């Protein structure tokens, strides 16, 4: 629908000019005198005006959503949204994307502090992590590259119901108007690869504070992230309820 706005924005001046020209030439009175012409013209103009308003609204919403690197819902989240490429067995994935296979091996996350102790009193599978996110809490998955943190994160988010998923842009803060889109929504902030935001133009802590202010009287916002190490992501870590290390 939003794609209709640019052409409709050019159509309306032409419609107005045509109406004015026909009024000045006296053609309007002649045309409207025809049987059924007046109701048809009225319905046509109202219909075009409604479609224009709807297209403009969708276009404006999409423009505000583009202030975020990702703006979608948990029900519409796709592997491609997280840099994963659907891959068949034997295929090679080119470029920065990582492979996404239909088969998935369930994982277990343990508290980061207990990663070397073998204390598994508190372990979390994908459903348990999804439950935490659904309750407005957050977690940070820590592990080495190619261990499958992003895929695990996708599996967790796909189990969360009725939430908006946003991922901040690295280069700038969203506008105030963009944040209004989240005012009455249940939001999950996705930061895949927290290390990527170290020394980024965007102040991630300030972004988190903006989300908190946005949800002062609204439902809640949760946050999920991945990182290669706690050391490099230390400035942002305290915004996550727990730090977890994936293990098989």
pLDDT digits (tens, 9 = 90+) for 184-224: 788 999 998 888 888 889 988 889 888 888 765 545 677 88
The answer to whether the CB of 109 falls within 8 A of the CB of 139 is yes
- Which of these, 204, 172, 171, lies nearest to 189 by C-alpha position? 204
Asked whether the predicted pLDDT for residue 145 surpasses 70, the reply is yes
Average pLDDT over residues 23-36: 62
Domains of the chain: which residue ranges?
2-65, 70-247
Q: Which residues contact 64 (CB under 8 A, 6 or more apart)?
A: 175, 177, 178, 180, 181
- Which of these, 61, 66, 97, lies nearest to 171 by C-alpha position? 66
Asked whether the predicted pLDDT for residue 5 surpasses 70, the reply is no
Asked whether the predicted pLDDT for residue 242 surpasses 70, the reply is no
For 70-247, CATH number? 3.40.50
pTM of the model: 0.75
Model pLDDT for residues 74-108, shown as the tens digit of each residue: 999 999 999 888 887 777 766 667 888 888 889 88
Q: What is the DSSP string of 46-108?
A: HHHHHHHHHHHHHHHHHHHHTTSSEEEETTT--GGGGTEEE--TT----TT-EEE-S-----E
């Amino acid at each position: 629908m939003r794609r209709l706005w640019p052409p409709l924005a050019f159509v309306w001046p032409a419609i107005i000019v045509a109406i004015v020209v026909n009024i000045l030439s006296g053609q309007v009175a002649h045309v409207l005198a025809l049987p059924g012409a007046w109701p048809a013209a009225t319905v046509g103009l109202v219909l075009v005006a409604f479609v224009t308003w709807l297209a403009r609204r969708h276009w404006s919403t999409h423009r505000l959503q583009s202030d975020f690197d990702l703006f979608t819902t948990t029900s519409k989240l796709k592997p491609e949204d997280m840099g994963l490429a659907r891959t068949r067995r034997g295929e090679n994935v080119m470029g920065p994307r990582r492979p996404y296979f239909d088969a998935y091996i369930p994982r277990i996350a343990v508290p980061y502090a207990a990663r070397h102790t073998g204390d598994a009193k508190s372990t979390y599978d994908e459903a348990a992590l999804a439950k935490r996110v659904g309750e407005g809490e957050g977690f940070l998955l820590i592990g080495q590259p190619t261990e499958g943190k992003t895929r695990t994160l996708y599996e967790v988010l796909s189990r969360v119901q009725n939430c908006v998923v946003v991922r901040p842009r690295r280069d700038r803060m969203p506008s105030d108007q963009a944040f209004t889109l989240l005012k009455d929504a249940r939001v999950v902030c996705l930061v895949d690869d927290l290390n990527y935001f170290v020394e980024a133009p965007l102040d991630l802590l300030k972004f988190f504070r903006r989300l908190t202010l946005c949800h002062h009287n609204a439902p809640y916002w949760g946050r999920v992230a991945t990182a290669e190490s706690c050391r490099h992501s230390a400035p942002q870590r305290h915004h996550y309820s727990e730090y977890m290390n994936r293990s098989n």
